[in-house]
Structure 1
Amino acid sequence: MKPWLKLAAGAAAITLATAGCAGSGGTDPGAAASSAPKGDGTLTVWLMTGSAPTTLTDALNKEFEDAHQGVKVKYEIQQWNGIQQKLTTALSGGDAPDVIEVGNTQTPFFASSSVLSDLSGSVNDLNGAQWLAGLKASGEFEGKTYGVPFYAANREVIYRKDMFEQAGITTPPASRAEWLDAITKLKAKFGSDPDFQALYLPGQYWYSLLSFIWDEGGDIAKADGKSFKATLDSPGAKAGLEFYKQLVEASGTKAPKDNDEANPQQAGIYGGGKAAMFIGTPGEVATAAKTDPSITAKTGAFAIPSKTAGQSAPVFLGGSNLVIPLNSKDQALAKDYLKLLSGAKYQSQLAKAGYVPGTSTDVSGLDADPLSKVMAAASKNGRAVPTSPRWGDVESGQNPLKDMLTAYLTGKKTLDQATSDANAALDKLIGG
């Protein structure tokens, strides 16, 4: 099961249905590894369950061992459940692995704890010119680089092609206005069914909200020296929240306003055949197909539209970074391993497996699947959440963005009150 939606949360793996290239130019990491000196001992690598395919890691580890006679790769697959504590223990001890995959929102926490190696001087060797921008930012802390982008996924609008055709919608929406117009047409065609939803949109789906806030030129927080200042009360953030409410009210969604996309699982709702659209990742369609196997052939996707016609809105990039613990016993070998994994050969295999590659701008390996192709194109306009070491507290605790959405959508708070209260709560979590 690919962890696309789990990784979309980064540090706090969200319990949803999962969803989830050849480099051109720059240094070829494979060449660097092949000329590396011989060594002795073991290189321990921890990757997460559902990330790199077995065919990739088997070939990668063999190539690395062949290039480093006397070195054995001890490859271990880790589970997301409980990984935060396991990583904390390993990184603070004297017997840490040499290469570790971490969620992109986990990286600043470990970097701030002074347990990761500074990779700033190795960026060029690791194909740095082609790193995926959103993941690149998540691997940086206080001006230094600690994480190498591994892979990512992002959301798009998944829709029923047959319903669009029946409603007279000939092309996917390319702007917010066209999106709202499509909703109107869908409701006119299918609205006599009391269970129909033109767009299923949960009230607390804050990952989708980010796209609208960013599209309005706003943000949820900005760096303020070595700390962060919440900006949920800014004009851009307010405008994004207003559009979210407009979309909820226009769509006829029956999703709860006090819960997120996991409760109930939105892919299951889509699979029920009464929703024409939802915002999700490509792999969620496989979950929907468990309810209705025919839905796969009926499904298409388009990028989350911008308010500017012909553009897509920025999207939240969830995914993983690769790091080297500060107490790794062989930093040089660990870097060689990253050089090989971040090179064109293995990045292309990641793309063919359905992931947006982290260290390559060539996403042609995703073209074979129309939904993944849309995701890959949208990823170029991807962003990360604030790189606060305390961001995990936002996702694992009382999330101010969720509270803000519910309060505003239900009318319990005005726009100004909801954003002001959420801003104060977010400042308490990440402001220090």
Structure 2
Amino acid sequence: MAVARRAVLGAAVAGAGAVGFARRSGFSPSSTGSAGADTLTFSLWGADTEIAAFQALARAYERRHRGIRVQIRLESYQQMYTNMDALLAGGRAPDLFRCDYANLGMYSASGQLLDLSPYFGDKERDAFLPALWKAVCHEGKPYAVPHHTDTTAVLYRKDMFRKAGITSVPTSLDEAWTWDEFSEICARLRKKLHGVYPFVYGWQQTGAFRWLTWLWEAGGRILDDSLTAPAIESAAGLRALRFTQDFFREGFVPPNSSVKSAAFPDSLFTAGTVAMSFAGDFLLPTIDPALDKDLYGVTFQPRGRTAATDLGGNAVVATRTTENPELAADFLKFLANEENMARFCEQTVVLPTRRSLLTQPLDYAVRPDLMPVYAEQATALTPGMTEQVAIPGFGRINSALQDELEAAFVNRQPAEVTLRNIAASTRTALASA
């Protein structure tokens, strides 16, 4: 997780703290103290800048709602869901928590989250990008608010490209390299640069799901249209897997950068080990201090039969057992209103989920000149892609992707066997969800 180096959100996020706002909005603070109905508990993990941003927003909300307190509880990402499962099972869940899209489905499908349908009208729902709103819905009902997203684009070293005689890169999504063109670029870099690999991809550990971008670009799916059966055993699935296996066979990527590796794309890129890095925008704050800004740029992910990208970022949810659902829903709206979402995204270098903000120039804390490419890349994400990730049981599917892709890349497990194993694990995950 990236750490942006900039001052925390200040008074601009706070808005106008009006006396009596709680009465006008229908919230009646009780006298039960820090654990009563006048307190919202909010569990989250995050980098320093994310935590500072959430804390500033919590204080701003308190100023606007006199007598109401927002209590932030910090967790590590590694323990977040284990702890949350225990709290939910024990009836001690917080009012709200942060949840990534890949884990959201298991909570919304199990009846543990507050149905937000009564609190978001059609106009409010339409303010969000369709693909991101689809990601927070289960059986047509929203159980979260899409707070922000991130996506992957291709960072490249300008000095290494010049040395290899590569003088231009695609400047729009429509002009992105084809798979064949990308392979040619990689072959040229491998030939011209000694001791440097052409690129690294960000599919390490729980990021294994980012491989799906290649599957979608090939015209494939991991689930069928009904989302009830695997669909990865297809011609498109074979093409995507064989193409990505070639990254290792051809020496296009470092051998230690596979799915279960601890070598992440930002560190390999800043170390000069690779000429390109498929990296999320949230990594820019860790990359930028290590490299002169004139040394690297960004371009779009290659295109297959279509353009695609991954579903990154996080949603915010309220638990079904919250004592004050109206207040919890109002706080979620506050976090995701246009002004607060813009400030959060600027500070933490992630992308907004509101339609209106994608067309506005945001003052990002790091490399605002690169962020328009990420914003355009994010438009390749469709509701049909996000619905395959936001299902109950996707966490188990992601674990299967880690195991099977590792076997395919490192141990050269045949593509047909790999797809068969992923399909079998997907059936098990769907049956147990």
- TM-score bracket for the superposition, by shorter chain length: 0.7 to 0.9
Match of 2:173? none
* Residues 56/425 of structure 1: CA separation in 2 closer, same or farther (3 Å cut): closer
Q: Could you give the per-residue CA deviations for residues 318-337 of structure 1, whole angstroms, max 9, x where no partner exists?
A: 22111111110011111111
Match of 2:239? 239
CA contact (8 A) 1:139 1:148 kept: yes
Q: Could you give the per-residue CA deviations for residues 223-272 of structure 1, whole angstroms, max 9, x where no partner exists?
A: 54xx6211110222222223223444455333248x42742233332233
Q: How many residues align?
A: 392
CA contact (8 A) 2:3 2:286 kept: no
Structure 2's unaligned 5+ residue stretches are 5-16, 30-37, 171-175
Question: Are 1:390 and 2:384 an aligned pair?
Answer: no
SS at structure 1 position matched to 2:262: coil
CA distance in 2, matches of 1:131, 1:202: 27
From 353, 360, 371, give the equivalent of 1:358. 353
Question: Are 1:345 and 2:347 an aligned pair?
Answer: no
Question: Are 1:323 and 2:312 an aligned pair?
Answer: no
CA distance in 1, matches of 2:319, 2:351: 25
SS at structure 1 position matched to 2:149: strand
Q: Could you give the per-residue CA deviations for residues 135-170 of structure 1, whole angstroms, max 9, x where no partner exists?
A: 323311122210110112121112101111232222
Shift of 1:126: 8.3
Q: 2:404 is aligned with what amino acid?
A: D
From 299, 304, 328, give the equivalent of 1:302. 299
Match of 2:216? 214
Match of 1:181? 184
Match of 1:25? none
SS at structure 1 position matched to 2:253: coil
CA distance in 2, matches of 1:52, 1:131: 24
SS at structure 2 position matched to 1:180: helix
Match of 1:253? 253
SS at structure 2 position matched to 1:127: helix
Shift of 1:105: 1.9
Q: 1:428 is aligned with what amino acid?
A: T
Shift of 1:202: 8.3
CA distance in 2, matches of 1:284, 1:55: 18
Match of 1:9? none
CA distance in 2, matches of 1:53, 1:202: 21
Question: Are 1:418 and 2:418 an aligned pair?
Answer: yes
Q: After superposition, where does 1:221-300 map in structure 2 within 5 Å?
A: 221-222=223-224, 224=226, 228-250=228-250, 252-256=252-256, 259-260=258-259, 262-284=261-283, 287=286, 293-294=290-291, 296-300=293-297
Q: 1:324 is aligned with what amino acid?
A: A
After the TM superposition, which parts of structure 1 deviate over 6 Å for at least 4 consecutive aligned residues?
A: 202-205
Match of 1:378? 377
Shift of 1:209: 2.5
CA distance in 2, matches of 1:77, 1:197: 38
Shift of 1:201: 4.8
Match of 2:35? none
Shift of 1:306: 0.7
Give TM-score scaled by structure 1 length.
Answer: 0.79
Q: 2:323 is aligned with what amino acid?
A: K
Q: 1:356 is aligned with what amino acid?
A: L
Q: 2:237 is aligned with what amino acid?
A: A
Match of 1:90? 87
Question: Are 1:142 and 2:112 an aligned pair?
Answer: no
* Residues 235/348 of structure 1: CA separation in 2 closer, same or farther (3 Å cut): same
From 51, 64, 74, give the equivalent of 2:61. 64
* Residues 405/239 of structure 1: CA separation in 2 closer, same or farther (3 Å cut): farther
Structure 1's unaligned 5+ residue stretches are 5-29
CA contact (8 A) 1:46 1:75 kept: yes
Q: CA RMSD in A?
A: 3.2
CA contact (8 A) 2:203 2:209 kept: no
CA contact (8 A) 1:352 1:365 kept: yes
Shift of 1:120: 2.1
Give TM-score scaled by structure 2 length.
Answer: 0.79
CA distance in 1, matches of 2:325, 2:123: 14
Q: 2:244 is aligned with what amino acid?
A: Y
Match of 1:127? 124
